[in-house]
């Protein structure tokens, strides 16, 4: 048989060698990339959907802080007392309680008499100067916007 009738390896534009009308090596790479991309999109959507279940707005916070804040929120919900989580009342506003989330972040809550209501998570840096300021700054801090 003539040499020409046999399938032969050719060099594609990408530089790979192979059989067929297109480079299977590159096609597989593209398929893997698309799969990774859609997996990440799915994970992102699942992560975004979780925020709807939170008692307070957490979506503006870094992921690791969100996870720890959720632990604190669910502990509160399950009846753990704030002092068991090193929470303290503010000296200037005794009905306001701060609970450490991480070294940098605090969960602010309000004691409405019957229960401890979560208000927002803020960073230590945002919070510290305000506790030394006039009471109206604290009130602004307690507004329920993130």
Our finding on whether 27 is near Zn ion (CB under 5 A) is no
Instruction: Identify the residue among 11, 20, 25, 50 touching Zn ion (CB under 5 A).
Output: 25
What the block records as the tokens of 55 is 């008692």
Q: How far is the CB of 16 from Zn ion (least distance, A)?
A: 3
Nearer to Zn ion by Cβ, of 20 and 133: the residue is: 20
Pattern 61-100, binding to Zn ion, x per CB under 5 A?
Answer: ----------------------------------------
Going by their DSSP bridges, the two strands 96-100 and 17-18 should be labelled as unpaired
Nearest to Zn ion of 12, 137 (CB atom): 12
DSSP class of 89: E
30 binds Zn ion (CB under 5 A): no
Q: Among residues 14 and 31, whose Cβ is nearest to Zn ion?
A: 14
Cα 90 to Cα 9, 47, 61, distances in angstroms: 76, 33, 23
Q: Which two tokens stand for residue 143?
A: 């507004």
**Which residue's CB is nearer to Zn ion, number 16 or number 104?**
16
Query: Are residues 87 and 97 in contact, defined by beta-carbon separation less than 8 angstroms?
Result: yes
- Which of 118, 117, 119, 116 minimizes the C-alpha distance to 141? 119
């Amino acid at each position: 048989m003539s040499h020409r009738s046999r399938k032969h390896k050719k060099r594609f534009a990408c530089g790979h060698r192979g059989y067929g009308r297109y480079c299977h090596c590159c096609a597989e790479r593209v398929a893997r990339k698309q799969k990774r991309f859609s997996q990440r999109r799915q994970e992102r959507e699942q992560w975004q959907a979780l925020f709807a279940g939170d008692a307070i707005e957490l979506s503006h916070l870094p992921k690791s802080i969100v996870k720890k804040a959720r632990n604190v929120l669910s502990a509160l919900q399950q009846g753990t007392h704030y002092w068991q989580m090193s929470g303290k009342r503010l000296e200037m506003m005794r009905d306001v309680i701060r609970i450490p989330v991480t070294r940098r972040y605090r969960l602010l809550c309000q004691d409405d008499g019957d229960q401890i209501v979560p208000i927002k998570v803020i960073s230590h840096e945002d919070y510290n100067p305000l506790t030394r300021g006039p009471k109206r700054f604290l009130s602004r801090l307690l507004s329920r916007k993130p």
